[in-house]
Amino acid sequence: MGKGYFDSKNKEYVITNMYPERPWLNYLWSETTYGSVDQFGNGENATFINSTRRVIETGERNLYIKDLETGEYYSANKNYNREKFDVFECHVGLGYQRIISEYKGIRTEFTIIVPKDLRATSYHVKVTNVDKTQKNVDVYFMTEPNANLTWHYAYGEADYDKNSKAIIYTHKAYDCNLPCKFCYLATEKDVYGFDVNRASFKGVYNGYDNPAGLKEDKLYSKGINFNDGYVGAFQYRLSLEIGETWETAITCGVSETQEEIKTFSKLCTSKNFYTELDYQKTENAKYHDVFYLETPDSVLNEQSNVWLKRQLAYGKTWGRGGGKGFRDVMQDITAFCSFDTSLARTRILHALKHQYEDGNPIRMFEPNFLYPYNDGAVWIPSAIISYISETDDISILDEQIPYLSGTSREKSVYDDNSFAYAPYDGTDYQTTVFEHVKRAMDYLLSARGERGLVLFYGGDWNDSLNAVGKLGKGESVWLSIATVKALNEFEQILSVYGKSDLIEYYSDKKQELIDSIKKNGYDTDHYLYGINDYGEKIGSDENPTAKIFLNPQTWAVLADLDTKENLEKLMDVVETRLSCDFGYVQCTPSYVNGSDRIGRMSYFKKGCYENGSVYNHGVAFKIVADCLLGRGDNAYDTMLKIRYDNKLNPNCVVEPYAVTNMYFGPENEYRPGYSPASWITGTAGWLYRGITEYLCGVQPTLKGLKIAPCFPSHFETVKVKRVFRNTVYNITYLRSTENKIVVDGETINSNVLPLGKDSYNVTVYFK
């Protein structure tokens, strides 16, 4: 049995092995609410109100079928006992998850979405008699709502409300400012029984594989209060003729008032469910239309046309889940701009509210996390450039946006383990977005050490180097290089915003920085990662471990820091020293002794995270760097190495439809190549840009769409459809003996495509 397949027509991945080595996840979200779902449809979801995270359901869900003739029952979405189902598969969709089963003449379809405008998850259950006789069955749905908002169970109560056709969970607590105190589980169809209490539904000593409540004719069907384990369970009694289908919608959500539940529960209909599902499909279809790729590599096509888009769109709103990392959101928006320019604009403006007055952003917002990582500012210009390039909308730079009060140095809290969170602290003081970007650059240029390099403070991209700069002396070579890249982008902003008079100043500053990097930042054959508070080199051949890091080398290319020849040498070193069967390690060899002059990274076990794993965010930087140097084969081979189907890494266990942030590195003693998680990674955005902007070379620029492909040598023909500033470009790439771009039959002298018509047919001849 295979693991599953891409269903290109329906934009689904169909999981056929329902018991992968670890659960395979999908993410469902609106702009207020998100959740993960595994191949069974299980997984926690939560809604955010300002900075408060309100969990809605804790994740356990089951759809049971009981045959009323035999009394036998089973979970149709989990099949605990692994019976021989005729059909058992999970359709991983864009904005939905659908688990389908057929067993003993009953077909079930269990579909899950996060509706657009409710703080809720919606379910749709469809049961069909595919047998040759009439069937009498009970259908049970259960989930675990997060009903106890404080540890005082005595506040809590749950009961079924016939008028609302919903179980209502209340937790009216003294002195409790948590939003959305009410929780509900609404049903479209009438129920035969219900339960709210885990002890009676599941049984005190049973598992969900064998819930006690199902042994009775009818669920307990009474309310409860003072309960430590609530469930929401509905029982429906069906008599199905041959071929007959029954369906119901179910919604589990939260509300501010009990009154609202009356309204919300009325929305719980199959009709509304289908409308929401259509919305998801339509919304995602927009993303597909923007960029469509046909290469000889069908997986590459799937990734770029469908799945990476979805994954990075998650990141542009939700960061990495637990909070919205400023840098994470910024990078994902940079990749997202083409999908929905209006939403991209909104998210950029929202993020920029989280800069201090000195221009430095906080590390994470909603909730606001104050550990003084120092790289936030470098990610701003690229998001702005990406947005303006995509839209030609310079007006974003005129928007007035407030700051967080104070400066980052005043507010810094070096407390990583216990998390120093702060409430939102926006001021009335505001400036233009342009000024926000300028201050970001000024901050980086001012926060420099005795060697002229940008200071580490709490760490940079490498947030596990969190002890290198605590004393305010350690300097980061990588962050200095990244600042050079940011200044390159800022110069474009100055130019397009009519501030060319400032270019010379920033250009001089940039050169100063480049000189410092070259003087103080180079080791035997590569750039250092940095120098810590004690003057000790990080990423040097002087050291017994962590002699070389990946990112300073790749970013030297991204920042165009040197001659092409020197940069090529640098990338040769990357190939020689950092390559492994399934990617490129973040550093080598891994630290083996924790050092309080280095930080977290040095305490991590070998091959974990920054300490020598194949950290794919960094690998995606490397892919872009390869393309910038014209090394299409290297770039493509690197993509293949980190892909789920790399034959040299058969136990990577990663979802085929999602990229992972990490494979344990080759030095890991127990599980080299294993991926513990996916989705929550900046890899998706950078890989998407790597494929579209650098491999295919379809680059939005301020002047228009630039074409600069860098395909691997065995790609002969490639097709791309790109919608850019309301213009459709149908691009065919053909391998040739010359480089030439033909637009609507005319060879053009630029590599920037024309604008003005509704569509263009473009042929790109490449060597």
> Which run of H or E residues covers position 525?
none
The smaller minimum CB distance to a second copy, of residues 297 and 328, is found at: 328
The correct pick among 117, 216, 226, 275 for binding a second copy (CB under 8 A) is: 226
Is residue 527 near a second copy by the rule CB under 8 A? no
- Residue 128 lies near a second copy (rule: CB under 8 A): no
70 vs 417, which CB is nearer to a second copy?
417
* Piece in contact with a second copy (CB under 8 A), picked from 67-75, 167-175, 529-537, 619-627: 167-175
The answer to whether the CB of 644 falls within 8 A of the CB of 591 is: no
Rounded to a whole number of angstroms, the minimum distance from the CB of residue 80 to a second copy is 8
In the bound complex, what is the minimum distance in angstroms from residue 172's beta carbon to a second copy? 6
Among positions 546-585, residues that touch a second copy (CB under 8 A) are none
d(CA 524, CA 548): 10
Minimum Å distance from CB 174 to a second copy?
Answer: 4
Stretch binding a second copy (CB under 8 A), from 238-246, 289-297, 597-605, 688-696 = 597-605
**Rounded alpha-carbon distances, angstroms, from residue 464 to 146, 679, 721:** 33, 20, 40
Q: Give the binding range for a second copy (CB under 8 A) out of 153-161, 269-277, 296-304, 382-390.
A: 153-161
- Work out which of 31, 136, 176, 256 binds a second copy, going by CB under 8 A: 176
Using CB under 8 A, which of 565, 596, 738, 746 touches a second copy?
596
The DSSP output letter for 754 is P
Q: How big is the site for a second copy, counted in residues (CB under 8 A)?
A: 49
Q: Is 156 in the site for a second copy (CB under 8 A)?
A: yes
Instruction: Tell me the chain's radius of gyration from C-alpha atoms.
Output: 28
What backbone torsions phi and psi does residue 271 show, to the nearest 5 degrees? Answer: -60, -50
For residues 262-321, which are near a second copy according to CB under 8 A? none
Task: Pick the binder of a second copy from 163, 417, 713, 726 (CB under 8 A).
Answer: 417
| In the complex, least distance from residue 618 CB atom to a second copy, rounded to whole angstroms | 16
Tokens of 442: 């000024």
Q: Does 456 bind a second copy (CB under 8 A)?
A: no
If binding is defined by CB under 8 A, does position 173 make contact with a second copy?
Answer: yes
Nearer to a second copy, 39 or 338 (CB): 39
Binding of a second copy at residue 172 (CB under 8 A)? yes
Query: Based on CB atoms, which residue is closest to a second copy, 421 or 505?
Result: 421
Q: What is the per-residue binding string for a second copy in 21-60, x denoting contact by CB under 8 A?
A: xxx-------------------------------------
What tokens does 171 get? 């937790």
Contact residue for a second copy among 88, 336, 387, 604 (CB under 8 A): 604
Q: Which is nearer to a second copy, 362 or 601 (CB)?
A: 601
Handedness of CA 138, 143, 144, 147 (dihedral sign): negative
From candidates 2, 175, 501, 745, binder to a second copy by CB under 8 A: 175
605 binds a second copy (CB under 8 A): yes
- 679-703: buried (b, 16+ CB within 10 Å) or exposed (e) per residue? bbbbbbbbbbbbbbbbbbbbbbbee
Strand order in the sheet with 537-538: 454-455, 475-476, 530-531, 537-538
Contact (CB, 8 A) for 652 and 675: yes
Q: Is 294 helix (H, G, I), strand (E, B) or coil?
A: strand
How far are the Cα atoms of 267, 390, 480, 484, 709 from residue 516, in angstroms, in the given order? 62, 34, 9, 11, 33
The pair of three-digit structure tokens given for residue 755, joined into one six-digit string: 């604008």
Tell me the C-alpha to C-alpha distance, in Å, between residue 426 and each of 352, 365, 441: 11, 12, 21
Task: Give the nearer residue to a second copy in terms of CB position, either 156 or 213.
Answer: 156
The DSSP string of 402-455 is EEESS-HHHH----TTTT-EE---EEEEEEEHHHHHHHHHHHHHHSB-TTSSEE
Partner residues linked to 194 by β-bridges: 234
**Footprint (CB under 8 A) of a second copy, residues 606-625:** 608-609, 611
**With contact defined as beta carbons under 8 Å apart, do 247 and 124 qualify?**
yes
Residues of span 657-686 touching a second copy by CB under 8 A:
664, 668-671, 676
Q: Which residue in 9, 70, 84, 174 binds a second copy (CB under 8 A)?
A: 174
Q: At residue 683, what are phi and psi to the nearest 5 degrees?
A: -60, -40
| Interface with a second copy in residues 78-97 (CB under 8 A) | 80
Among residues 243, 498, 544, 594, the one that binds a second copy under rule CB under 8 A: 594
Of 318, 336, 330, 448, which is closest to residue 391 (Cα–Cα)? Answer: 336
Candidate residues 8, 136, 225, 524; the one interacting with a second copy per rule CB under 8 A: 225
Place of tokens 């309301």: 726
| Residue ranges binding a second copy (CB under 8 A) | 19, 21-23, 80, 150, 152-157, 172-176, 199, 204-205, 207, 209, 222-226, 228, 416-417, 466-467, 594, 596, 599-600, 602-605, 608-609, 611, 664, 668-671, 676
